[in-house]
Chains A and B, each alone.
Chain A
Amino acid sequence: MSETLTHGEWNRAVQEGELLGQHCEECDHTQGTPKAACPYCGSTDLETVELPTEGEVYTETTINVPPEGIDERGYQVAVVQVGDARVMGRLVDQEIDIGDRVVLSGFDEDDQGNATPRFEAQ
């Protein structure tokens, strides 16, 4: 069995300006978040890959009613296509639409140190 990417490693990479994903050697699927096995074929033959840090917005929304613990309103959350994979993150410039090109520009973090990628318009 090959290496398995952990959340800790993925999280540190986001904080260092990199996006890590996994490529399935069995079915060729690439995913944006780590798992112990491929969700599409069940293979554990997963190779950790560096994903591109720029891509295209796949879908997005602006959240005006935040959960407890978040003081700001009107932040934009998106799913971004980066190469063959997608990742979820925040967008820093408002009014970025589906199809717009964006680039990794930092990260946001919750109170337990879980990082999420931050993208800005390219």
Chain B
Amino acid sequence: MARAAVVGADMTEFGVHDRSLQELFGEAALGAFADAGVEPSAVDAFYFGNAMGGQTENDTHLGPKLASHVGIAGVPVQRFEDACATSANAFKNAVEAVEAGIHDVVLVGGVERCTPETGKDTAEMTRIFASASHRQYEQPTGLTFPGVFALFTKRHMHEYGTTEEQLAEVAVKNHGNGALNPNAHFGKETTVEEALEGPVVADPFRLMDCCPFSDGASAVVVVSDDAADSYDEPVDVGGVGHATDVVPICDKETPHVTQAARDAASQAYDQAGTSADEMDFAEVHDCFTGAEILASEAIGFVEDGQGGAAAEEGVTARDGERPINPSGGLKAKGHPIGATGTGQIVELAEHLRGDAGERQIEGAERAVAHNLGGDAATTVVTVMEARE
């Protein structure tokens, strides 16, 4: 039995937007209502994600503001803020509330603006992103987020022989997929040579190993399993796992293993009564190319140590055996922090309905989303299935 179902899904283009948070979010939310065929008056709760609005735009009490903007003022609204896993956490809580019978029709979504449209330059945004690392034991070193994932990835390279060319292959694959996605921040293909020529951000990561700063919004409408049949094309939520790992990085047992992702994935597969082998594709949190390699192993798509080789050999390509990030991933689709988690759910829903256009994974029936936050400290993993 499904835990809940997604009956409406939409997102803005991820990229550079000069609109306010409420207008950006309004586009995604009204799109999700229209997709579900629900009026705002039918919505009885709003689970909302935004990670950095306080720091980036001096805008903190966003829940009621956005609810008012999209015609659902009055309903209970809760805001989630969990670094890059922000809206996946909102989604998890919405699924649990619907399953528990607390709400029937819930709007879940997120919005963020990270580009210079906020008035913040790269150095300021780098500092704001770094606020998701440990204030006392990580930030004083000058650690950045590319640095966090560089530390994990360098150890993975040391243990398994993962190469910079293999990292570049992830970027090439995801840019190729992104080129087919009308909502992607980057719609241009790239090559291994081009990726390896970019300036180093935090070794081994060059510019093309890093996701962009994006603006954007995403939203879904979640209803109970029972109610789902009265909507067109419901997509079932089989399981949502959520785990955390020890902070700071130095105290994690084996940092590159990303234990929270492994724990969250096994919870999600168990709840859905399925396994990694049954998944037709995955959307994973590839904030950096190395992060996709670690994620592909953590969710059980490839054997430990083989993430780099799998990218190089095309195993994780759209037409490969274990497709990862048909959307283009964070790398090419973009990473508006608070919109990323539900953005992955939108992508899953589109493929499971057969609506993903040129990038469609043919015949996809089951898929998994992996959304990670902080220094690999939070991970939410969601399994979704096409309703029979």
In the complex the two chains form, is B141's CB within 8 Å of A89's CB? yes
**In contact, B155 and A65 (Cβ under 8 angstroms):** no
Known: A33-B137, A88-B250. A75 touches B142 (CB 8 A): yes
- Of the candidates B137, B150, B155, B246, which one forms a contact with A58 in the assembled complex, judged by CB atoms under 8 Å apart? B155
Cβ of A4 < 8 Å from any Cβ of B?
no
Stretch at the interface among B68-76, B104-112, B122-130, B379-387: B122-130
Q: In the complex, what distance in Å separates the CA atom of A79 from the CA atom of B152?
A: 10
Complex Cα–Cα for A68 and B130 (A): 10
Closest residue to B127 on the A side, CB-wise?
Answer: A67
Let me know if A79 and B151 touch, CB within 8 A.
yes
Interchain CB contact under 8 A, A77 and B155: no
A59 touches B155 (CB 8 A): yes
Smallest CB gap from B200: residue in A: A64
Q: How distant is the Cα of A17 from the Cα of B122 in the complex, in angstroms?
A: 34
A62 CA to B134 CA, complexed, in Å? 19
Q: In the bound complex, do residue A67 and residue B142 qualify as a contact, i.e. CB atoms below 8 Å apart?
A: yes
Interface string of B128-143 (1 = CB under 8 A from A): 0010001111111111
| A67 and chain B: residue at smallest CB distance | B127
| Residue in B127, B143, B201, B249 whose Cβ sees the most chain A Cβ within 10 Å | B143
Taking CB as reference atom, which chain B residue is nearest A80?
B250
Complex Cα gap A14–B243 (Å): 32
Quick check: is B329 within 8 A (CB to CB) of the other chain? no
A40 to B253, CA, bound (A): 9
Given A63-B202, A64-B200, A68-B124, A32 contacting B251 (CB threshold 8 A): yes
Tell whether, in the assembled complex, residue B250 and residue A67 are in contact, meaning their CB atoms are under 8 Å apart.
no
Residue of chain B at shortest CB distance from A107 = B140
Task: Say yes or no: A88 contacts B147, CB within 8 Å.
Answer: no
Contacts of A23 in B (CB 8 A): none
- Assess whether B137 is in contact with A88, with CB atoms less than 8 Å apart: yes
Interface string of A60-94 (1 = CB under 8 A from B): 11111111111000010111000001111110000
B158 CB-CB contact with A under 8 Å = yes
Give the docked Cα–Cα distance between A73 and B316 (Å): 35
B201 cross-chain contacts in A, Cβ below 8 A: 63-65
Q: Which interface class (under 10, 10 to 19, 20 to 34, 35 or more) fits A?
A: 35 or more
Contacts A77-B147, A88-B250; A64 near B202 (Cβ below 8 A): yes
- Which bracket fits the contact residues of B? 35 or more
What residue of chain B has the Cβ atom nearest to residue A112's Cβ? Answer: B140
B246 pairs with A39, CB closer than 8 A: yes
Neighbour of B144 across the interface among A67, A90, A98, A109, CB < 8 A: A67
A65 touches B202 (CB 8 A): yes
A33 CA to B127 CA, complexed, in Å: 22
Closest to A109 in B: B140
Q: Are B203 and A65 in contact, CB atoms less than 8 angstroms apart?
A: no
List, in ascending order, chain B residues with CB within 8 A of A62's CB: 200, 202-203
- Chain B residue nearest to A39 (CB atoms) is B246
Write out the residue numbers on chain A whose beta carbons fall within 8 Å of the beta carbon of B136.
7, 11, 33, 114
A2 to B139, CA, bound (A): 29
User: Cβ of B151 and Cβ of A61 under 8 Å apart?
Assistant: yes
Contacts of A108 in B (CB 8 A): 140-142
Pick the residue among B123, B127, B141, B200 that contacts A90 (CB under 8 A): B141
Q: Is A115 an interface residue (CB 8 A)?
A: yes
Q: Which residues of B contact A59 (CB under 8 A)?
A: 151-152, 154-155, 158, 255-256
User: For the complex, is A16 an interface residue (Cβ under 8 Å from B)?
Assistant: no
Interface residue B273 (Cβ < 8 Å from any Cβ of A): no
Whether B142 contacts A77 by the Cβ 8 Å rule is yes
Instruction: Indicate if B320 sits at the interface (CB-CB under 8 A).
Output: no
Q: A-side interface residues toward B, CB under 8 Å? A: 7, 11, 31-33, 39-40, 58-70, 75, 77-79, 85-90, 98-99, 108-110, 114-116
28 pairs, A vs B, C-beta closer than 8 Å: A31-B251, A33-B134, A33-B251, A39-B251, A61-B154, A61-B202, A64-B200, A65-B122, A65-B126, A65-B146, A65-B202, A66-B123, A69-B123, A69-B127, A77-B141, A77-B142, A77-B143, A86-B250, A88-B137, A88-B141, A88-B248, A88-B249, A88-B250, A90-B142, A108-B140, A108-B141, A110-B139, A116-B140
Given contacts A65-B144, A114-B140, 4 further A-B contacts (CB under 8 A): A64-B200, A79-B249, A90-B141, A115-B140
Give B contacts to A, CB under 8 Å: 122-124, 126-127, 130, 134-144, 146-147, 150-152, 154-155, 158, 199-204, 246, 248-251, 253, 255-256
